[in-house]
Amino acid sequence: MMRALVTVVVGAVVTGVVIGLLPGITADGPWAVPAVAIVLGVFAAVLRPLLVTLLSAIGWPGVVAGWIVVQSLLVWVALQVTPGIHVDGFWPAFWASWLGAILMTIGLWLVTAGQQGVATRHLLRVNRRFRRSVPPTTVPGVIMIQIDGLSAPLARWAIEAGNLPTIGRWLRSGSHTLTKWHARMPATTPASQAGLLHGASDRVPAFRWYEKPAGRLVVTNHPADSALVESRLSDGRGLLADGGVSVSNVFSGDASTSLFTMSTLRGRRPGPARYLSAYLLDPFGLTRSLVLAAGEIVKELHQARRQRLRQVEPRMHRDWRYVLLRGATNVLLRNLNLTVIAEQIMRGAPTVFCDLVDYDEIAHHAGPARPEALASLDGIDGVLAVLEEVAAAAPRPYRFVVLSDHGQSQGATFRQRYGLTLEDLLAGELPGEDLVVAAGGNLALVYFPRLPGRATVEELEQRFPQLLPALTGHPGIGWVMVRSGRDGPVVLGRDGRRRLRDDHVDGADPLAGFGPHAADDLRRHDSLDHTGDLVINSLWDPVAGEVAAFEELIGCHGGLGGAQERPVLIHPRDFAVPGPLTGADAVYRVLCGWLEQTGCRTPRSLIRRG
């Protein structure tokens, strides 16, 4: 009751400020100001759902026009019918609606000190019709939230530092426990989600790769390519089969409902979906998010300037594209994901899997453990807090699982260190030779399109005798893996080589310091379809804890070295983990077991019997 009263008071104050500031709107007395605020609230509650349905049926033109004018129309009608209020036409009401939305957002944030209760109440209110229409059940649902790029060591540190208070409360209460797992190379979102959602990470050799038979580059954040890859992954029994919901992922996990998922973007019906229309047409949705996104952009400009003034190293230039991207991922996309998940919870969805990319995006540009990256975890934790509150009013109980797909490792980029890119280094040794370099983080797959099949070390030494010595002798290269026609896969370093077939080492072991899983990961990677003729990993400096990305990102992942290989799994304590987890496919099997345990998923054995 007190929170509702606060909202009404803030609304009345904002209405008074708007009337006082804008010409064309007057009030006969102070009593008329709260009256028009109450009338507007009633109109919004009654009429907006009908307008959302009508404008959604029109399509994108209706939704865009509606976002611009619906609130203005509601304000105009409220001003017209409220006694003691006078308005000179539509345009004063139009500007009043926008100024009011901005001031209301700022006012509620200041009064509530950023508390999540306002968002929870709003989500419960707009989804109440779903709650009433869904029959209750005691079968638990499972909400799986992926914090993209969060390593287990940093998760522990962030919990202790207070950046993840909701997760910290779960751990302290004993309801949840934290488990680390090993992300096999390549430590990327597409490879890990191919494993987490489909149990088929071996179909994805990198973030991007070249397929010689087809003569094409596959890039997994392109809808057409992600759809192609998922067609190779899916057997119809992905993690989200049996009525699950995929939100903002690369692959769908065979979900019945797939929202903002890269692999299913193509082929959707034209026009906005209902949930997107509702978000765009709700002043608490997009308009509020735009105000907060503007604040996020201002914060980014300040934090980037602070890094420059303090001469923080390593650092990178954070241009205007990233500035806008941060506002989009840290506010717009986060709030949209929250809105969508809350609706699915109130609809009683059995399982939901959503990838929140906020932290990963900032960590790429600012550094995994920098203040701005850690601050993004506060926002993600806030999403968990709101979802926990929404779930308490849902038609079924829900269990929460939080996991990551990989970690991140930090370091000045290859170009920053040596003044040239990996492509420049290769071109200097191979003038005029056709070459495809597919780099992701500190891992690069190199292809020779003119050479059929997988090029061998013997063939490369004959055709390009200086190439391999130039690569292994460069200080920015940790190791190079190549196939030998005689010895199978071999790993070459500056002062030695390792034969993976039997782990025989000549000279210094090139994998020394890269961790206990390095040789097994490379053996597996050598067996993958479409891996590179050369597989190149950057340096790994265990003293400084740094790698050297082949992309212009100071926080990176993809290869070996550092925390990028150590993601996290936070789960209810009664969800058992059978021993160490190596690879996303192993996590997939554990997740499937948990869903079967709760009754959200039909075991494969029962399907086969049927």
pLDDT tens for 80-94 read 888 888 888 888 888
Query: What integer is the mean pLDDT of 572-581?
Result: 94
Q: CB-based burial of residue 174 (10 Å sphere; 0-12 exposed, 13-18 middle, 19+ buried)?
A: exposed
pLDDT of 470 strictly over 60: yes
Phi, psi torsion values for 417, nearest 5 degrees: -75, -40
Please name the residues in contact with 87: beta carbons below 8 A apart, sequence gap of 6 or more. Answer: 24, 25, 76, 79, 80, 93
Closest CA to 118 of 385, 516, 514: 385
pLDDT at residue 148 greater than cutoff 80: yes
**DSSP β-bridge partners for residue 556:** 409
Handedness of CA 89, 95, 98, 100 (dihedral sign): negative
Mean pLDDT of 129-148: 91
Q: Across residues 516-523, what is the average pLDDT?
A: 97
Assign 491 to helix, strand or coil. strand
Q: Is 596 exposed, middle or buried (0-12, 13-18, 19+ CB in 10 A)?
A: middle
Neighbours of 344 (CB within 10 A): 25
pLDDT at 112 over 50: yes
How high is the pLDDT of residue 80? Answer: 83
* CB-neighbour burial class of residue 43 (10 A; exposed 0-12, middle 13-18, buried 19+): middle
Is the predicted pLDDT of residue 258 greater than 70, yes or no? Answer: yes
C-alpha dihedral sign at 134, 136, 141, 147: positive
- Pick the residue with more confidence: 118 or 305? 305
Q: Among the listed ranges 101-105, 327-331, 456-460, 508-512, which one has the minimum average pLDDT value?
A: 101-105
| pLDDT class of 329 with cuts at 50, 70, 90 | confident
Q: DSSP alpha helices (H): ranges in 453-517?
A: 457-463, 467-472
pLDDT average, residue stretch 107-128? 71
Closest CA to 186 of 164, 198, 167, 203: 203
Task: Kindly report which listed range (277-281, 363-367, 459-463, 511-515) carries the lowest average pLDDT score.
Answer: 277-281
Whether 552 and 415 have beta carbons less than 8 Å apart is answered as yes
Taking a C-beta distance cutoff of 8 angstroms, is the pair 596, 576 a contact? no
Q: Above 50 in pLDDT, residue 216?
A: yes
- Tell me how far apart the alpha carbons of residues 316 and 360 are, in angstroms, rounded to a whole number: 16
CB contact set of 125 (below 8 Å; sequence gap of 6+)? 45
Q: Is 407 exposed, middle or buried (0-12, 13-18, 19+ CB in 10 A)?
A: buried
Euclidean distance between CA atoms 501 and 493, whole angstroms = 17
Q: CA-CA distance, 207 to 441, in Å (whole number)?
A: 9
Q: How many Å apart are CA 42 and CA 75, to the nearest integer?
A: 11
Average pLDDT over residues 558-587: 96
What are residue 591's phi and psi, to 5 degrees? -60, -45
The region of weakest confidence among 94-108, 289-303, 383-397, 517-531 is 94-108
* pLDDT of 234 strictly over 70: yes
What CA–CA distance (Å, rounded) separates 366 from 306?
11
Does 606 score more than 90 pLDDT? Answer: no
* CA end-to-end span of the chain: 53
The answer on pLDDT for 34 being more than 60 is: yes
Among 284, 10, 322, residue whose Cα is nearest residue 123: 284
466-479 average pLDDT score: 97
Q: What is the pTM of this model?
A: 0.88
**Mean pLDDT of all residues in the chain?**
89
**Quick one: 305 exposed, middle or buried, by C-beta within 10 A (0-12, 13-18, 19+)?**
exposed
> What pLDDT does 482 receive?
98
Share of the chain above pLDDT 70, in %: 89
pLDDT at residue number 610:
46
Tell me the C-alpha distance between 35 and 32, whole Å: 5
**CA 247/CA 263 separation, integer angstroms:** 11
Banded model confidence at residue 222, pLDDT cuts 50, 70, 90: very high
- Give the pair of three-digit tokens for residue 441: 């983080």
